[in-house]
C-alpha cells in the first residue's frame, strides 16, 4: 500500500512513517518544514519527502496514494487537505491508523501524563528490550539506548507515549483513545494545552475515556499523589488499579538513597534497588517516580522488579532531557525540553541535586502554546527559584511572540538587594549576557520545547573564548 503522510516531520508522525515503512508499505510525506534531523532520518529509511502542502504533489505520483494519513498540524484550509476532501480520497488520522494497523491484537503499554511521558516510555521500552521482549515502540523523542524514536518490533508488546493532545482537525478526541492499552500508566495530570482544553476538568474527561478502554484483565498504574488522577479513577475503573508514589501507603513506593539511587518497595516489602549509571544524565525525584511507574508497568507483563532494576542501571535517558551539550572553560551547557512550570521546577531540582551549591544559570524560552497564552505565567517565578540567575527570551513580534509582559511576570525574582532575572527580545544580546555572567564551575541550563534559535551552541561558542 502507498501511504502519503501530511505533517510527516513531527516526532509522532515521523514515527508512524518509520513504522509503516518497516511494515512494508511505500511511504511518502510532506510538511511545511522539511529539514534535518527528521528529514535525514526519514530519507535514510527510503521515505520520499516533499516540501509544503501544494496540490501539485498529487500530480507527481504515477498512481494516487491508497491512503492519506493526516497529522494534527493540518487544518481546514490547507490546500492539499482541501483537494483530498474535494476529490473524495481516502484519509485517516495518524493515531487511528496506528491503532487499527499496528496496535490491534497486541499488548499495548501506554504511558500517559502531563509530564515525563517521553522519559518514562523510554525507560519502559528499555526494560522490555533488556529483558528480551523485543517490543515495538513509538516515543516522542530519541531514547539514547536506541537509534530511532519508533519501530514495529518483533513481539506482541508495544510501548507508546500516549498523548492527550487532539487527534486531528476531524477528530477532537485525545490521541490516546485510539490505542486500547492493556497496561495504562497514568503518570500525573495538570492543566496544559490551553489552546484546546478549557480547563483541567476537560482533560480529566479525556483521561477517563482512556481508562474506559482498558480491559478488565488489564492494569491501571496510577500516581497515587495526584488529586486529578484520583478524580479520574473515581469516575469508574473496570481494571485493577495499582498506585505508586513516595508514600508507603501506595502499593508501589520508594526510598531514596545517596547518589539518586532508590529502593523499590511493593506493598511495603523491598523488591529491588535502582542505581543509575554515572553518565546516564538521569536525576531528581521525578525520574525516580518515572522509573518506579515503569517498573510497576513491566511487572504486569511478568518482568520482576529486580530485572527491571538491572535494565535501568544501563538506561541512558532521552535526547533533550537534561542532555549535556558541551563543556567549555569549566562551564557546562545543558538542553532540556521543559515546557511547563512544573517541568521547569523538576528539571531544576534534578540538576540542583547533581551539582549541589554550584551556580545554575537558567536560560528559558516560554514557547509552548499554553505558555504563550499566558495561562501558567503566574507560576513561572516560583518554578525558577532554584536557579541562581535567569535569562528569559520572549520575541516581540512574529508567531513566536508572547501576548504578555515577560519582564513583569518575572519581576518577583528581582529585589532591591539582587537582580536575579533578566529578559531579552534579541537572541544575540541574550547570548552575550549569559557569556558575560558565566564563570568556571557554572551550569547553564537551556529550557525550551523548540529549537530556540540554536542558542545552545551559540552560548557554548561564546563561553569558549
Q: How far apart are CA 351 and CA 367, in angstroms?
A: 21
Q: Report whether pLDDT(74) > 80.
A: yes
- What class does CATH assign to 2-93? alpha beta
Q: Which fold has domain 105-312?
A: 3.40.1190
Q: What is the 3-state secondary structure (H, E, C) of 373-402?
A: CCCCHHHHHHHCCCCCEEEEECCCCCCCCC
Cis peptide upstream of residue 37 (ω within 30 degrees of 0): yes
Residue 31, H or E segment? strand 26-31
Q: How far apart are CA 210 and CA 213, in angstroms?
A: 5
What b/e sequence results for 216-226 when a residue is b if at least 16 CB atoms lie within 10 Å of its CB, and e otherwise?
eebbbbbbbbb
Q: Which candidate, 183, 139, 145, 134, places its Cα nearest to that of 163?
A: 139
pTM equals 0.79
pLDDT digits (tens, 9 = 90+) for 189-229: 987 766 767 788 999 999 999 999 999 999 999 999 999 99
Q: Report whether pLDDT(397) > 60.
A: no
pLDDT digits (tens, 9 = 90+) for 252-309: 999 988 777 899 999 999 999 999 887 777 877 888 999 999 999 999 999 999 999 9
Whether the domain at 2-93 and the domain at 105-312 fall into the same CATH topology: no
Instruction: Tell me the mean pLDDT in the region 62-89.
Output: 96
Judged by DSSP in three states, 173 sits in strand
Calculate what percentage of the chain has a pLDDT beyond 90.
61
pLDDT digits (tens, 9 = 90+) for 124-156: 999 999 999 999 999 987 788 888 889 999 999
Q: How far apart are CA 241 and CA 265, in angstroms?
A: 17
The dihedrals phi and psi of 168, each to the nearest 5 degrees, come to -165, 170
Q: Which fold has domain 323-463?
A: 3.90.190
Q: Report pLDDT for 453.
A: 81
Could you tell me the residue ranges of all domains in the chain?
A: 2-93, 105-312, 323-463
Range with the lowest mean pLDDT among 74-78, 99-103, 375-379, 461-465?
Answer: 375-379
Q: Report pLDDT for 444.
A: 94
The set of residues, in sequence order, having a beta carbon less than 8 Å from that of 428 and lying 6+ positions away, is: none
Q: Which candidate, 238, 194, 211, 218, places its Cα nearest to that of 372?
A: 194
Joined together, the cell numbers standing for residue 413 give 525574582
pLDDT digits (tens, 9 = 90+) for 54-66: 999 999 898 999 9
pLDDT digits (tens, 9 = 90+) for 9-54: 988 999 999 999 999 999 999 999 876 667 788 888 889 999 999 9
Q: Report pLDDT for 13.
A: 94
The set of residues, in sequence order, having a beta carbon less than 8 Å from that of 81 and lying 6+ positions away, is: 6, 53, 70, 74, 75, 169
Considering the chain, what is the average pLDDT of its residues? Answer: 90
Joined together, the cell numbers standing for residue 163 give 498523548
Q: Report pLDDT for 243.
A: 97
How many other CB atoms sit within 10 Å of the CB of residue 405?
Answer: 13
161 close to 118: Cβ distance less than 8 angstroms = yes
Residue 444, H or E segment? strand 443-447
Q: Report pLDDT for 240.
A: 98
pLDDT digits (tens, 9 = 90+) for 150-188: 999 999 999 999 998 899 999 999 999 999 999 999 998
pLDDT digits (tens, 9 = 90+) for 434-453: 999 999 999 999 988 777 88
pLDDT digits (tens, 9 = 90+) for 238-259: 999 999 998 889 999 999 887 7
Amino acid at each position: 500500500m502507498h501511504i502519503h503522510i501530511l505533517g510527516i516531520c513531527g516526532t509522532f508522525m515521523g514515527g508512524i512513517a518509520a513504522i509503516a515503512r518497516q511494515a512494508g508499505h511505500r511511504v511518502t510525506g510532506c510538511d511545511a518544514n522539511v529539514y534535518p534531523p527528521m528529514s535525514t532520518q526519514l530519507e535514510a529509511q527510503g521515505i520520499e519527502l516533499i516540501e509544503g502542502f501544494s496540490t501539485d504533489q498529487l500530480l507527481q505520483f504515477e498512481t494516487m496514494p491508497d491512503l492519506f494519513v493526516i497529522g494534527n498540524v493540518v487544518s481546514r484550509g490547507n490546500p492539499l487537505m482541501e483537494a483530498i476532501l474535494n476529490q473524495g480520497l481516502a484519509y485517516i488520522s495518524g493515531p487511528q491508523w496506528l491503532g487499527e494497523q499496528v496496535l490491534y491484537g497486541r499488548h499495548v503499554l501506554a504511558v500517559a501524563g502531563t509530564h515525563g511521558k517521553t522519559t518514562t516510555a523510554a525507560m519502559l521500552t528499555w526494560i522490555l528490550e533488556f529483558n528480551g521482549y523485543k517490543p515495538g515502540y513509538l516515543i516522542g523523542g530519541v531514547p539514547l539506548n536506541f537509534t530511532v524514536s519508533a519501530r514495529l518490533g518483533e513481539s506482541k508488546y508495544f510501548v507508546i507515549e500516549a498523548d492527550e493532545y487532539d487527534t486531528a482537525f476531524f477528530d477532537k478526541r485525545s490521541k490516546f483513545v485510539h490505542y486500547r492499552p492493556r497496561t495504562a500508566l497514568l503518570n500525573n495530570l495538570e492543566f496544559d494545552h490551553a489552546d484546546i482544553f478549557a480547563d483541567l476538568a476537560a482533560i480529566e474527561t479525556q483521561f477517563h475515556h482512556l481508562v474506559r478502554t482498558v480491559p478488565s484483565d488489564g492494569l491501571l498504574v496510577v500516581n497515587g499523589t495526584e488529586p486529578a488522577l484520583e478524580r479520574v479513577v473515581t469516575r469508574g475503573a473496570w481494571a485493577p488499579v495499582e498506585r505508586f508514589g513516595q508514600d508507603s501507603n501506595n502499593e508501589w513506593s520508594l526510598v531514596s538513597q545517596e547518589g539518586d539511587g532508590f529502593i523499590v518497595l511493593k506493598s511495603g516489602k523491598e523488591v529491588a534497588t535502582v542505581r543509575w549509571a554515572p553518565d546516564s544524565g538521569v536525576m531528581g525525584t521525578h525520574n525516580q517516580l518515572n522509573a518506579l511507574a515503569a517498573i510497576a508497568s513491566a511487572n504486569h507483563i511478568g518482568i520482576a522488579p529486580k530485572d527491571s532494576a538491572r535494565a535501568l542501571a544501563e538506561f541512558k535517558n532521552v535526547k533533550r532531557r537534561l542532555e549535556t551539550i558541551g563543556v567549555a572553560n569549566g562551564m557546562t551547557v545543558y538542553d532540556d525540553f521543559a515546557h511547563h512550570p512544573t517541568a521547569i521546577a523538576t528539571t531544576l531540582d534534578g540538576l540542583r541535586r547533581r551539582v549541589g551549591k554550584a551556580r545554575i544559570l537558567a536560560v528559558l524560552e516560554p514557547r509552548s502554546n499554553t505558555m504563550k497564552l499566558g495561562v501558567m505565567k503566574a507560576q513561572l517565578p516560583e518554578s525558577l527559584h532554584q536557579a541562581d540567575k535567569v535569562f528569559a527570551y520572549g520575541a516581540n513580534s512574529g508567531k513566536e511572540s508572547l501576548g504578555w509582559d515577560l519582564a513583569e511576570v518575572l519581576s518577583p525574582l528581582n529585589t532591591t538587594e539582587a537582580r536575579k532575572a533578566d529578559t531579552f527580545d534579541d537572541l544575540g544580546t541574550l547570548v552575550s549576557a549569559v557569556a558575560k555572567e558565566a564563570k568556571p564551575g557554572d551550569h547553564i541550563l537551556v529550557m525550551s520545547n523548540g529549537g530556540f534559535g540554536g542558542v545552545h551552541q551559540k552560548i557554548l561558542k561564546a563561553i569558549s573564548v
